[in-house]
């Protein structure tokens, strides 16, 4: 089993999710997405695995969300994904991916358990 976590070490939920994985003996590949942002194609794939629309994966309370006018309903899916790729602080975290075919958002951290049943 291959596990990847898109992680922000400054985020409590992200740290808690990583700790849950490690407590189960899982040593995931850790992608610090603020340092190594996913590109638009990766975000599109993650959205598909999560079965979410772009705004559902966005941190809408971040200043960038308002500054960039991302609440504009006329923005396309492509534009929203491009904004997340360019401003990774907008991406909700943590995202855990198992075997490149299943993913869950660790909010709450226990939500990732659905990946291991």
pLDDT digits (tens, 9 = 90+) for 56-74: 999 999 999 999 999 999 9
In the structure encoding, which two tokens stand for residue 40, read together? 């638009």
Catalytic residue ranges: 11
Domain 3-116 architecture? 3-Layer(aba) Sandwich (3.40)
Angle between helices 40-50 and 77-86 (to 10 degrees): 110
Write down the pTM of the prediction: 0.95
Task: Say how far apart CA 79 and CA 83 lie, in whole Å.
Answer: 6
pLDDT digits (tens, 9 = 90+) for 82-100: 999 999 999 999 999 999 9
* Residues whose CB falls within 8 Å of the CB of residue 56, separated by 6 or more in sequence, listed in order: none
pLDDT digits (tens, 9 = 90+) for 22-48: 999 999 999 999 999 999 999 999 999
CA angle, 102 then 17 then 77, to 5° = 50
Rg of the chain taking only CA atoms, in angstroms = 14
Candidates 8, 114, 108, 93; CA nearest to 46 is: 93
């Amino acid at each position: 089993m291959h596990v990847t976590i898109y992680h922000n070490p400054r985020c409590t939920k992200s740290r808690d999710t990583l700790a849950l994985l490690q407590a189960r003996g899982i040593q995931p590949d850790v992608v610090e997405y603020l340092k190594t942002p996913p590109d638009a194609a990766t975000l599109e794939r993650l959205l598909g695995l999560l079965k979410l629309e772009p705004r559902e994966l966005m941190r809408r309370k971040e200043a960038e969300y308002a500054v960039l006018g991302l609440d504009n309903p006329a923005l396309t899916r492509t534009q929203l994904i491009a904004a997340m790729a360019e401003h990774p602080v907008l991406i909700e975290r943590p995202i855990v991916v198992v075997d490149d075919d299943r993913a869950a958002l660790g909010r709450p951290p226990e939500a990732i358990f659905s990946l291991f049943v």
